[in-house]
Amino acid sequence: MNHKICVIGLGYVGLPLAVEFSKYYPTIGFDIDEIRIANLKNNNDKTGEVDKNQLVSTNLCYTSSIKDISNYNTYIVTVPTPIDGSKRPNLKALQNSSKTIGKVIKKNDIIIFESTVYPGCTREDCIPIIEKESGLKLNQDFYCGYSPERINPGDKKNTLTKITKIVSGSNDFSLELIDNLYSKILTDAETYPVSSIEVAEAAKVIENTQRDLNIAFVNELAVIFEKLNLNTNEVIDAASTKWNFIPYRPGLVGGHCIGVDPYYLTYKSNISGYTPEIISAGRRLNDSMGRYIAQRVLKRMISKSIIVEESKVLILGFTFKENCPDIRNTKVVDVISELKEYKVEVDVYDPWVTDDESIEEYKIKMKDDYYKSKYDAIILAVSHNEFLKIDFDSITHKKTIIFDIKSFLPKLKGLEVSQL
């Protein structure tokens, strides 16, 4: 098959994929965000996941117009799959993408989904929309597959071409096509074919569910050890001397995957007749950590006779992880909300975040001139490398509490640093 590839959704997953495929095939990137398209055409990528010199080439173009993608034959969907306010799957972007594809596909075209979903979603939710819009039938007129994304934002080591790629297809023919397609771009990794689309969907969703549960366990340990007046990280370091102990660390669990994907699995489990207990408990605990951290800081302030309602707190870091600009589903907002409930004045500084994004998404402005103030408490929420250069003496007073969620800061002379 002479692939002409259209990647739908140009975020942290779709853009690197489009760039890699464009090295071998004619490729177009489609996104409904016209500003995003304009920026990419001008070599401007806010994610930082792709070398700027690779954004535009003779084999790669970008569009927000459906008519521009009608002459392609391989469609890869990489749109967001978030949760709604009730923590149920929000499939709107996925459904809209399926409608778009249904309007343009032709006989023998192939569609590959990469967005994280629950087992059965591709076959039960997406394919019927494509069939309805196109009038074509799966495995008779077009083919489908699922190959879950494994992009780790900000990770410059485990990049797309170096990560094993699970591949699946709606039949043997499509599986072989998809396997060969992805094998082309995996320069330092291999594909891993599985027997069905549902297996591939399930494999992806449990990857992050497992990590979520492991972090929930150490978060609960942090709560217990605080009661026992034990240093959680010291305990973990000691336990790590055993060869098979996995040293997960406590912290906030946000982002586009770990804090979201378990809800897709629990949703599918619930409608299938089983109420998951362990996964749900882990999610509840991790979702409560922002409030717990704020409460610990407030208690430390009170113990030092700092008047909470007149206090000023600086939060360092707003992204969901270190050294990347991604603020999707950041749980730092939970810490902020809890502090504001007690009338605390909260400043937030993150050198990786622009006001345009933080204000639009969360109505929170970055405090770039934080260094002009003295704070009653400082919370290190994200371990950006830039924070190691901060002169803490200039922004603290004798009673200032520093709470290092990530156990990232070195010992600061004359300052008390608490850890989660």
The reported pLDDT for the residue numbered 383 is 94
Which is it for the CA torsion 392, 394, 397, 400, positive or negative? negative
The reported pLDDT for the residue numbered 141 is 98
Task: Count Cα atoms within 13 angstroms, Cβ side, for 369.
Answer: 1
The reported pLDDT for the residue numbered 373 is 96
The reported pLDDT for the residue numbered 221 is 97
Nearest CA among 332, 326, 328, 361 for reference residue 347 = 332
Assign domain 288-419 to its CATH architecture.
Answer: 3-Layer(aba) Sandwich (3.40)
Domain residue ranges in the chain:
5-202, 288-419
Nearest CA among 38, 127, 117, 32 for reference residue 82 = 117
The reported pLDDT for the residue numbered 51 is 80
Which is it for the CA torsion 249, 253, 257, 262, positive or negative? positive
Query: Among residues 121, 144, 257, 324, which one is catalytic?
Result: 257
Which is it for the CA torsion 410, 229, 234, 247, positive or negative? negative
CB 318 within 8 A of CB 370: no
Query: Is 354 in a helix, a strand, or coil?
Result: coil
CATH class of this structure's domain 5-202:
alpha beta
288-419 matches 5-202 in CATH topology:
yes
**Residue 116 token pair:** 């994280």
The reported pLDDT for the residue numbered 255 is 86
The reported pLDDT for the residue numbered 196 is 98
Phi then psi for residue 180, to 5 deg, are -65, -35
pLDDT 10s per residue in the chain (420 long)? 899 999 999 999 999 999 999 999 999 999 999 999 999 999 888 887 888 778 888 899 999 999 999 999 999 999 999 999 999 999 999 999 999 999 999 999 999 999 999 999 999 999 999 999 999 999 999 999 999 999 888 888 888 999 999 999 999 999 999 999 999 999 999 999 999 999 999 999 999 999 999 999 999 999 999 999 999 999 999 999 999 999 999 999 988 889 999 999 999 999 999 999 999 999 999 999 999 999 999 999 999 999 999 899 999 999 999 999 999 999 999 999 999 999 999 999 999 999 999 999 999 999 999 999 999 999 999 999 999 999 999 999 999 999 999 989 887 777 778 888
CB 105 within 8 A of CB 137: no
The total number of residues written for the chain in this structure: 420
Q: Environment class of residue 200 by beta-carbon count within 10 Å: exposed (0-12), middle (13-18) or buried (19+)?
A: buried
Nearest CA among 291, 337, 289, 345 for reference residue 313 = 345
Phi then psi for residue 81, to 5 deg, are -130, 80
| Residue 324 is among the residues annotated as catalytic for this protein | no
